[in-house]
């Protein structure tokens, strides 16, 4: 047996209209229940009743009910829900009226079944239909009572009829009010549902619009980000070029007298070599001379050693200038950080300033706390800091006719401090906050790039992780106080 087809046949039909689907579901339930009741109860009544007339009447009513129920189910599944509802209500009205006539009177409980007609009509056809069927029920009851009383109405029949009129009238009125309230509620629910659907459509449209806007804005941001990245890379390249330009400009200023500085020790070396050549010839001529005593040989050797010492000292001075120039010109961007002794690095960096000191009438004092002060980082970058700060101090002092420039290097509990002080023109209060800005300078055009202190700040703060403090008074001088943190291996 195919139960799937049976379940499909028993299931209520579904239509596009929700109200039609609701009524079809009620009809389906009522009709299937009626079929089940008829098929179950009719045989019992037919078999138990010994009167032939009533057996035949029950049989006829059962057959009629089955036929009508199946016909109505057919109409429902064809979509004729309104017609099926009217026919069902009329069928109930006919069957109950016939039952009241055949099996009792107005006083019989069967007469109360008219209430089922009113409720069924109200649920299927609405409140007005409930009132109409209530009026029909009252008239039919009155007609049945009149027939059963032999063409007259007794007081008992009339009292029963009045009672049913009141009950059914009240039932129809209450049912209409309830159904109207339910219908209004359903209508509001439908309006709300339609408004919600409309809101959902608008929301979907807004979401689609927002999605498009987000996509367009994301694309625009990506384009801006790409442009910014390109600008940033170009800025980095330009900054690198400017830093190289500043470095070369500083080196040009520092090495303006390098030829003179190197020429002096080289001249001393040449003079010492010439003196040494004379002493060597004199010693050569003295070989085998009986008049030359051992003391004379010792004297010549002593003079030769002294000449060599002077030549070595002059050569070391020249080598120091060369090392200092190499330190300044080396590319420190790829130099690895390492522990180093800051004292000799600072001394070599200050060597290049000797010519500038003599030209400006300034003096330079380097005062390290000891000959061994360790820092961690790039020695070349530290030398660049010392050179830039000392060169700026010399320039500031030169504007006042010269003066002392003091460079102090000290150990501290948490690192190393470098102090560069002068007694020059000082810095105006309004310029103190701007001295580390790129391209800012108070020097005349062509005498400064405005990048020297920017480089110092980037090296001290960015590479060494240190700090810079500046104190200055116009015409009294400036003090730069730098703090470098401890070497990393000292913190472990």
How much is the pLDDT for 488? 57
Task: Count Cβ neighbours within 10 Å for each residue of 22-37 and write b for 16 or more, e otherwise.
Answer: bbbbbbbebbeebeee
Number of Cβ within 10 Å of residue 197's Cβ equals 10
Q: Does residue 250 lie within any of the structural domains? A: no
Q: Is 72 helix (H, G, I), strand (E, B) or coil?
A: helix
Structural domain includes residue 479:
yes
Q: Identify the bridge partners of residue 407 per DSSP, sorted by sequence position.
A: 366, 420
The CATH number given to whatever domain includes residue 400 is 3.30.565.10
Q: Between 433 and 262, name the one with better pLDDT.
A: 433
Tell me if 120 sits within 8 A of 31, measured CB to CB.
no
Give the pLDDT of residue 317.
63
Cα separation, 327 vs 349, in Å, equals 8
Task: Report the distance separating Cα 309 and Cα 431, nearest Å.
Answer: 51
Paired sense of beta strands 415-422 and 374-377, if any: unpaired
pTM of whole model > 0.75? no
Within-domain flag for 189: no
Chain segment 271-295, per-residue pLDDT in tens? 667 777 777 777 777 776 666 677 7
When pLDDT is cut at 50, 70 and 90, the band that residue 73 belongs to is: confident
The two tokens of residue 62 are 């059962």
Tens digits of per-residue pLDDT, 294-315? 777 677 778 777 778 776 766 6
Q: Cα dist. 319→214, 323, 371, 472 in Å?
A: 66, 6, 20, 36
State the pLDDT at residue 451. Answer: 67
Q: What is the pLDDT of residues 204-253, one digit of tens each?
A: 888 888 888 888 888 888 888 888 888 777 766 766 666 555 555 555 55
d(CA 312, CA 318): 10
In a domain, 177, yes or no: no
Mean pLDDT of all residues in 86-103:
78
On whether residue 266 sits in a domain, the answer given is no
Higher pLDDT, 154 or 458: 458
Banded model confidence at residue 178, pLDDT cuts 50, 70, 90: low
Domain boundary among 125, 153, 181: 153
How many domains, in total, are found in the chain?
Answer: 2
Look at residues 153, 172, 206 and tell me which one is the last residue of a structural domain: 153
What is the SS3 string spanning 174-221? HHHHHHHHHHHHHHHHHHHHHHHHHHHHHHHHHHHHHHHHHHHHHHHH
Which of 119, 153, 187 terminates a domain? The answer is 153
325 located within any domain: no
Domain span holding position 451? 331-492
Residue 130's nearest CA partner among 142, 138, 119 is 119
Give tens-digit pLDDT for 112-129.
777 777 777 777 777 777
| Residue 95 covered by a domain | yes
Let me know if residue 352 belongs to a domain: yes
């Amino acid at each position: 047996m195919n139960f799937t087809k049976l379940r499909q046949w028993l299931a209520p039909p579904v239509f596009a209209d929700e109200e039609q689907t609701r009524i079809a579901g009620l009809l389906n339930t009522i009709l299937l229940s009626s079929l089940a009741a008829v098929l179950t109860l009719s045989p019992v009544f037919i078999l138990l009743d010994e009167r032939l007339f009533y057996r035949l009447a029950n049989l006829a009513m059962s057959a009629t009910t089955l036929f009508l129920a199946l016909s109505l189910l057919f109409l429902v599944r064809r979509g004729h829900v309104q017609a099926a509802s009217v026919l069902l209500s009329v069928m109930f009205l006919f069957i109950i009226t016939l039952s009241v006539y055949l099996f009792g009177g107005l006083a019989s409980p069967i007469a109360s079944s008219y209430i089922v007609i009113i409720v069924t009509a109200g649920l299927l056809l609405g409140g007005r239909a409930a009132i109409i069927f209530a009026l029909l029920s009252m008239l039919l009851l009155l007609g049945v009572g009149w027939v059963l009383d032999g063409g007259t109405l007794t007081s008992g029949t009339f009292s029963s009829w009045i009672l049913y009129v009141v009950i059914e009238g009240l039932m129809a009125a209450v049912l209409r009010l309830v159904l109207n309230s339910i219908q209004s509620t359903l209508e509001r629910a439908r309006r709300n549902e339609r408004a919600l659907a409309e809101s959902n459509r608008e929301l979907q449209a807004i979401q689609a619009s927002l999605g498009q806007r987000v996509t367009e804005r994301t694309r625009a941001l990506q384009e801006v980000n790409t442009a910014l990245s390109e600008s940033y890379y170009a800025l980095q390249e330009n900054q690198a070029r400017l830093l190289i330009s500043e470095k070369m400009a500083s080196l040009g200023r520092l090495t303006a007298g390098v030829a003179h500085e190197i020429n002096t020790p080289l001249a001393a070396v040449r003079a010492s070599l010439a003196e040494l050549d004379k002493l060597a010839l004199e010693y050569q001529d003295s070989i085998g001379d009986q008049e030359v005593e051992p003391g004379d040989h010792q004297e010549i050797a002593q003079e030769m050693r002294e000449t060599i010492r002077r030549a070595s000292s002059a050569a070391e001075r020249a080598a120091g200038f060369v090392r200092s120039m190499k330190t300044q010109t080396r590319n420190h961007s790829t130099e690895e950080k390492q522990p180093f002794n800051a004292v000799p690095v600072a001394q070599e960096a200050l060597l290049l300033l000797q010519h500038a000191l003599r030209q400006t009438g300034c003096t330079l004092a380097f005062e390290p706390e000891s000959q061994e002060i360790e820092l961690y980082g790039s020695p070349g970058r530290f030398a660049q800091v010392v050179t830039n700060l000392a060169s700026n101090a010399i320039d500031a002092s030169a504007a006042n006719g010269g003066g002392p420039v003091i460079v102090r290097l000290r150990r501290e509990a948490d690192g190393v401090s470098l102090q560069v002080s002068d007694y020059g023109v000082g810095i105006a209060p309004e310029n103190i906050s701007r001295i580390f800005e790129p391209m800012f300078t108070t020097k005349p055009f062509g005498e400064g790039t405005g990048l020297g202190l920017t480089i110092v700040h980037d090296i001290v703060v960015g590479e060494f992780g240190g700090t810079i403090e500046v104190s200055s008074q116009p015409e009294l001088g400036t003090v730069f106080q730098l703090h470098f943190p401890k070497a990393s291996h000292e913190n472990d």
